[in-house]
């Protein structure tokens, strides 16, 4: 058992008979005599549905033990994503709703930690940022304005907004949750990484 004030992103809990993965947890102080609340964003591991719920900080919840194993992403089959254990060659299927927005950045051959609960794959641990190559965009314009954007198509087909100075063939870093451009990755930085 764990108190709601101890919840952290990445934990799994059982609440009202359902298993949830904690995506966000933040304490909000109350005013006057009202106690604070633990604001959480939870994801139902069976359905992938997101749920924002407030717990009393002293509320007791059942924490669940998750197992993690590095697996290789193979391919997507409709709404399901197939991963393989590189040692045993065992394959598991994870619904796209459970993976969330990170699914659009999965590439064949990518190794990612997959979390299991009671032998069932329930989620993946995707990095917060990802690098992608710009496949197509308007030619670069070097102007004094950094706040002007243009549309670009990435090598995975996703369309994003990038600054005017980004050229086709360049690599950009993106926020996985929002799909937004963060920065251009310079060739020297990529070699050193």
CATH number at 67-124:
2.40.50.140
How many beta carbons lie within 10 A of that of residue 158, not counting itself?
14
CATH number of 129-192: 2.40.50.140
Residue pointed to by tokens 């329930």: 122
Structural domain spans, the chain: 2-64, 67-124, 129-192
Domain pair 2-64 / 129-192, same fold: no
CATH architecture of 2-64: Roll (2.30)
* pLDDT tens, residue order, the chain (193 aa): 888 888 888 888 988 888 898 888 888 877 666 678 889 989 888 777 888 998 888 889 998 888 889 999 999 888 889 999 999 999 998 888 778 778 888 888 889 998 888 888 888 888 888 888 899 888 887 766 667 888 899 888 888 899 888 889 999 999 887 888 899 888 655 544 4
């Amino acid at each position: 058992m764990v108190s709601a004030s101890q919840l952290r992103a990445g934990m799994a809990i059982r609440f009202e008979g359902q298993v949830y993965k904690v995506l966000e947890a933040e304490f909000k102080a109350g005013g006057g005599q009202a106690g604070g609340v633990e604001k959480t964003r939870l994801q139902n591991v069976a359905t992938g549905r997101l749920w924002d719920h407030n717990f009393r900080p002293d509320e007791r919840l059942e924490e669940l033990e998750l197992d993690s194993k590095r697996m290789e992403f193979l391919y997507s089959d409709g709404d399901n994503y197939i991963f393989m254990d590189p040692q045993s060659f065992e394959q598991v299927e994870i619904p796209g709703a459970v993976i969330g927005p990170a699914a659009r950045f999965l590439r064949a051959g990518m190794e990612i930690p997959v979390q299991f609960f009671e032998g069932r794959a329930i989620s993946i641990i995707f990095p917060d940022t990802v690098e992608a190559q710009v496949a197509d965009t308007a030619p670069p314009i070097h102007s004094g304005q950094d706040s002007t954007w243009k549309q670009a198509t990435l090598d995975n087909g996703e369309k994003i907004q990038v600054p005017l100075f980004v050229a086709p063939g360049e690599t950009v870093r993106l926020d996985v949750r929002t799909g937004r451009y963060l920065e251009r990755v310079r060739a020297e930085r990529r070699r050193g990484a």
